[in-house]
Structure 1
Amino acid sequence: MPITDYPMLRWEDMAEGQQLPGFEYELSLLRLVAFVRATGLYDYVHFDPDYARAVGIKDAFAATPHIGGLFSRAVTDWTGPFGLIRRMEFRMTGQCLRNDLLQVSGSVVGKRRLDDGSAIVDVDLNIANGSSPSVASAKVTVALPSADGSLPHVERGRDPDDLVVPNDDMPDFAKAYMGEVREGNWEPREPLEASDVHLWCEALEDWNPLYWDSDFAIESFVGGLVSPPIGLFYGAGSSLGVGLGYRKPGADVPAPIVQGLHGMELMSALRQEMIRGGVPFPPPDCPETVVVNAVYNFYRPLRVGDTLRTEQRLATCSQLRKTRLGEGYFTSGENLLFNQRDELVRTVSLNLFCYRA
């Protein structure tokens, strides 16, 4: 398919205050399940309404990367495939629940040129539902083509401004973690396939041709099919942590299954193990966790055929705080994700509140 068949907005076409087209997204149970299938993120609260209600949530709700994927789609639906997202920071002030009709909107808040000539636009985004004018908001930095013929740099180095600076008043337990690096998830462990990315496109209705149109992608400035910048792909085998596939010969059977637990008791025990796996530097006696906000920086695309490993580091930790949820600590852990060539693909900083109710 010729490149000219897809739209291309240039930096000069943008003006401060310009509105993005936006879109509606019905968060049906089918789409929640489709996202789990695409990502391998088998947390019950994101697809099992009964479990969600049993742990005090109104209904099954969209996961953090699901929300990030909607924000990513809003940007490239507007810019076309030549808009390259460099940074995304988003905060969830409410939950996007099953059967919500989400309204995704945005506007341009600034444009600038960097020292290297990159043409940058800053965008504010918002997600509303029927009960709230804002359940999630984001700030996104996107590089665009320019009228001089220049295209965004596909690969870039890490900017000092991207670094997360530790706070000075860390508790002693957090100071003991500083400098420690732990291995996180593989996203994916096996080489990424075009069909994996296509499942993401189906769940998000994100039809950026760089993700699925191989003829276009090969001829484009990225040189082949790539994943959405925030794409998450745990792949086959990720369901073992929630009790699926444990009969495979050689599999490590989760302890709650070995103990003979069943039903809600089994699901709760498995999910606690899952939460502990997602909090590599846990504060003491704080078993519950909520995501406060997420910051993604993107340095090169995840390509079809790539694998992706994670290095985890503790970045910041507050003193003990009391909130309406309970007492706990605000922490941020930085995940650095490298491809099989040890090239930095992206960093993810999740700001968490780890607490006891």
Structure 2
Amino acid sequence: MEYRSLYWEDVEEGQELPAIGYELSLLRLVAFVRATGLYDYVHFDRDYARLAGARDVFIATPHVLGLFSRLMTDWAGPESAICSITLNMRTQSCSGDLLMITGRVARKYVGDDGEHLVDIVDLNMGHRVAAQAATASATMALPSRTGGPVKVSRLPAPRQTVAADQDLPDFAKTLIGMVKEGPGEPAWPLTADEIHLWCECLEDWNPLYWDKEYAARSPYGGLIAPPAALFHGAGASAQVGVGYLKPGEKVPEAVQRGLTGLPLLQELRKDLISHITPFSVPGCPEIAVSQARSDYFTPLRPGDTTYTRQEVLNCSPMKRTRLGEGHFLTWVRSVFNQREELVRTFTLTGFYYHT
């Protein structure tokens, strides 16, 4: 097949990206859980999602990032590269919603390091319940007729700083600036099949992710993973009570107590939250991500493993929202591969709450 890419010179400021439609079926939600190992009940268990205050099972933040990424690379072609995305989750997109994903070019320019860049704004994910369920802005690098192909990897951006809240809660004062080692994403060697599973559930068929012959001829020299892709791996399921009978796995305490049904899920999710996020918030067992900024540097490849470092940046005083009462916590998660190369950073703000 012939895959076409846009040149930077052919992009016009103000032009609309071709919209994509995406039915958020329960099948696709379950497929995303299978592809990523993100076994959070709010994304596939309707009873639990409604207990947590949602109208139904809803899309995960990496799923939204993946769809915005697909919109941009479907438009720009496989020779482009996404540098960063800043995402705002405004409300939930739930099973059965037909998502319409759109965006617009705001600016084209040459960066300080010579890269040919475009800023994408008005990225929007809407559906019948919410015209703006998620919004975002992004920066992409495009190939140039005069400047050549995009860079295979890029240097880290200057570190973002977040001013601590003046009314910082007492429990959070000892957390600011503390660095915590986190689980790998993936901890085990990444496989081409795992990348393909991600492509299937998002219908993202960028040839760099699945076409071995095309990827081998590209500047990357082989397959890479989508920048927004998340891979916890099959072993992550043991954190939520699936697969714990494997020899050497720890049986969750809630299972040992004989809990079943929703009470079991409520107890298991407490451990899941502490596994996914850097620190827990007292009395707030639920979490919803409100904003996420992702910066991408070195792509993951089949065979790679990773490790993460997480650091809390800020925490709000007690707030009340339609979900419940709790705190907004901001932290940064940095992902490195086994060669000590920075893969990406996530700067996230999550609402930790109780209903």
Give the TM-score, by structure 2 length: 0.95
Alignment of 1:175-214 (within 5 A): 175-214=173-212
Counterpart of 1:249?
247
Shift of 1:280: 2.1
SS at match of 2:133: strand
Paired residue type of 1:27? L
Q: Aligned in 2, Cα 1:339/1:108: closer, same or farther, shift over 3 Å?
A: same
Q: Partners in 2 of 1:285 and 1:242 — Cα distance?
A: 20
Structure 1 residue runs of 4+, over 6 Å off? none
Shift of 1:52: 1.7
Shift of 1:149: 4.6
Shift of 1:332: 0.7
Give unpaired runs (5+ residues) of structure 2. none
Q: Deviations over 1:264-320 (max 9, x none)?
A: 211121112212323323333333322111110001101111111111111122233
Counterpart of 1:316?
314
Counterpart of 2:295?
297
Shift of 1:188: 0.8
Q: Partners in 2 of 1:168 and 1:33 — Cα distance?
A: 38
> Any conservation in 1 of the 2:165–2:315 contact (CA below 8 Å)?
no
Q: Partners in 1 of 2:349 and 2:8 — Cα distance?
A: 32
Total equivalences in the alignment: 353
Paired residue type of 2:133? V
Match of 1:277 among 255, 275, 278: 275
Q: Deviations over 1:30-86 (max 9, x none)?
A: 111111110011111111223222333211111111111100000000000011000
SS at match of 1:197: helix
Q: Deviations over 1:176-222 (max 9, x none)?
A: 12332212121111111100000000000000000001111111012
SS at match of 1:237: helix
Counterpart of 1:38?
35
Alignment of 1:43-192 (within 5 A): 43-124=40-121, 125-160=123-158, 162-167=159-164, 169=166, 170-192=168-190
Counterpart of 1:20?
17
Q: Aligned in 2, Cα 1:75/1:280: closer, same or farther, shift over 3 Å?
A: same
Q: Partners in 2 of 1:259 and 1:86 — Cα distance?
A: 47
SS at match of 2:132: strand
SS at match of 1:133: coil
Shift of 1:165: 3.0
> Any conservation in 1 of the 2:53–2:323 contact (CA below 8 Å)?
no
Q: Partners in 2 of 1:15 and 1:294 — Cα distance?
A: 28
Q: Partners in 2 of 1:175 and 1:39 — Cα distance?
A: 33
Match of 1:329 among 307, 327, 330: 327
Q: Partners in 1 of 2:82 and 2:120 — Cα distance?
A: 10
> Any conservation in 1 of the 2:108–2:118 contact (CA below 8 Å)?
yes
Match of 1:215 among 201, 213, 216: 213
Q: Partners in 2 of 1:122 and 1:205 — Cα distance?
A: 24
Q: Aligned in 2, Cα 1:33/1:56: closer, same or farther, shift over 3 Å?
A: same
Shift of 1:8: 1.1
Q: Partners in 1 of 2:54 and 2:283 — Cα distance?
A: 22
Counterpart of 2:4?
7
Shift of 1:99: 1.1
Q: Deviations over 1:235-277 (max 9, x none)?
A: 1211111211111111111110011111121112111221232
Shift of 1:329: 2.3
SS at match of 1:142: strand
Shift of 1:353: 1.8
Q: Does 1:286 align with 2:317?
A: no
Q: Deviations over 1:95-123 (max 9, x none)?
A: 11101111111111111111211111011
Q: Aligned in 2, Cα 1:325/1:25: closer, same or farther, shift over 3 Å?
A: closer
Q: Among the aligned pairs, what percent are the same residue? A: 51
SS at match of 2:96: coil
Q: Partners in 1 of 2:226 and 2:148 — Cα distance?
A: 22
Q: Partners in 2 of 1:246 and 1:320 — Cα distance?
A: 36
Give the TM-score, by structure 1 length: 0.95
Q: Partners in 1 of 2:274 and 2:354 — Cα distance?
A: 14
Give unpaired runs (5+ residues) of structure 1. none
> Any conservation in 1 of the 2:44–2:58 contact (CA below 8 Å)?
yes
Q: Partners in 2 of 1:15 and 1:184 — Cα distance?
A: 42
